Amino acid sequence: MEKIKVGVLGATGAVGQRFVQLLEGHPWFEITALCASERSAGKRYADACRWNLRGDMPASVRDMVLLPCEPGPDCQIVFSALPSETAGEIEEEFAAAGYIVCSNARNHRYDPDVPLLIPEVNPEHLGLIEVQKRARGWHGFITTNPNCSTTHLVSALHPLHVRFGVKKVFVVTMQAVSGAGYPGVSSMDILDNVIPYIGGEEEKIEHKEPHKLLGAFDGSGVRPADLLISAHCNRVATRNGHLEAVSVEFVEKPTLDQLLEAWRDYTPLAQQLRLPSAPQPAIIYDERPDRPQPRLDRMAGSIPGMATVIGRLRPDPLLHYKFMVLGHNTIRGAAGGSLLNAELLVAQGYLGRTHAFLAESVQMA
């Protein structure tokens, strides 16, 4: 069967490059369009893009000519790695023109009719798509994935939330420099240092994203989850991998073994469907006393960079329990999150029955 044609908006930036890298050799998708700013449009990708990831730029994209970020390219899905200055309008134009937009930008994350999606956590929020298309009169639609630090926090909490009800969360993040893009954090600022501030990050975690992600879809909208979160966000001198110290209180206090069991038994829809980018398992619990660590564990699991790694579960003197969470910020926390969202859309039939069959056949194998 033919692969599904996809495009990347903002293909030359740090997140755009990750999309290109992750899509190379993808079993369902093939890149047919790379779009960039007007300044770069018309150039070869290899000429316009300073490739910044380990390994070489995939040969298949080197000679592709960059298109402007306007509807027109021959593809069904566009992955948006656009900066927030331009993402808002451009994504709307593509959705209006019938494209499926899987966005990593923050612009539409909090729109009531746009799914903020982690396939393992809230696939039922895809119901918002119909609401969105109807409300906006669009042929296509927009889905988004959460911020990198939220993604792994909520991934770790979700299996606990469904069983025991998460009420209160303390989280202190130690975030990698790649989370700020490229060039992002100056070496002058971070060598031999920690910066105890990341603009807007604490607000996203405390008030916006986890509540929507863990909220309930009622057919017309998402009722935010009722939980209290306190977040301190810090930038540390790691390249990749956000590490988070988390303390949690539940509606009903489980035993420590019940928590471990909730993570161990966690096999949500994305894993059941065997989506190509869904790690098996979704959550890894590492029993070693000094893990997870960013350098050693950010690529752990069956799909490097897509799993959430947890460790050091122990009682908390204030709330019920505490533990460490680690996840890759530019793979699952950015481009990989959007990609998995697109795979879920395929498997759920949002690209038509034929492609859903494709997904099912994978699942059967």
Counting other chains too, the contacts that 190-194 makes at CB distance below 8 Å and 24 or more residues apart are: 190/235, 190/236, 190/237, 191/237, 192/237, 193/237, 194/234, 194/235, 194/236, 194/237
- Distance in Å, CB of 53 to a copy of itself, minimum: 8
Residue 242 a catalytic site member = yes
How many Å apart are CA 254 and CA 157, to the nearest integer?
13
Q: Checking DSSP bridges between strand 228-235 and strand 166-175, what pairing results, if any? A: parallel
Please say if 75 is a catalytic residue: no
Residue 236 lies near a copy of itself (rule: CB under 8 A): yes
**Which residues lie across from 242 on neighbouring strands?**
327
Q: Quick check: 53 and 64 in contact, CB under 8 A? A: no
Q: How far is CA 255 from CA 86, 249, 258, in A?
A: 47, 12, 5
Nearer to a copy of itself among residue 79 and residue 323 (C-beta): 323
Structure tokens at 253: 């206090």
The single residue of 108, 158, 211, 242 carrying the catalytic annotation is 242
Q: Is residue 256 a contact residue for a copy of itself (CB under 8 A)?
A: no
Give the one residue of 324, 331, 340, 342 binding a copy of itself; rule: CB under 8 A.
324
Distance CA 332, CA 283 (A): 12
Subset of residues 38 to 67 that bind a copy of itself, contact rule: CB under 8 A:
52, 54-55
- Asked if 200 touches a copy of itself (CB under 8 A), the answer is no
CB closer to a copy of itself out of 133 and 232: 232
Q: Tell me if 269 contacts a copy of itself by CB under 8 A.
A: no
CA 321 to each of CA 89, 121, 307: distance values in angstroms, whole numbers, following the listed order: 43, 21, 22
Residue tagged active-site, from 49, 148, 233, 328: 148
Distance (Å, whole) CA 23 – CA 17: 10
What is the CB neighbour count within 10 angstroms for residue 248? 24
Q: Does 121 bind a copy of itself (CB under 8 A)?
A: no
Residue with Cβ nearer a copy of itself (23 or 205): 205
Q: Does 255 bind a copy of itself (CB under 8 A)?
A: no
Can you tell me the distance from the alpha carbon of 118 to that of 283, in angstroms, rounded to the nearest whole number?
Answer: 13
Q: Does 293 bind a copy of itself (CB under 8 A)?
A: yes
Residue from 228, 256, 354, 363 binding a copy of itself (CB under 8 A): 228
Find the binder of a copy of itself among 37, 86, 234, 348 (CB under 8 A): 234
Q: 124, 295, 302, 361: which one contacts a copy of itself (CB under 8 A)?
A: 295
CA distance 242 to 130: 34
Q: How many CA atoms lie within 13 A of 349 on its CB side?
A: 3
With respect to a copy of itself, which residue has the nearer C-beta, 184 or 352? 184
From CA 250, how far away is CA 162, in angstroms rounded?
A: 11
Judged by CB, which is closer to a copy of itself: 108, or 204? Answer: 204
In the bound state with a copy of itself, the residue whose beta carbon lies nearer, of 3 and 264, is 264
Catalytic residues: 148, 242
Q: Which residues bind a copy of itself (CB under 8 A)?
A: 14, 52, 54-55, 168, 170, 172, 174, 177-178, 182-197, 206, 228-230, 232, 234, 236-239, 243, 245, 247, 289-296, 299-300, 311-312, 316-319, 322, 324
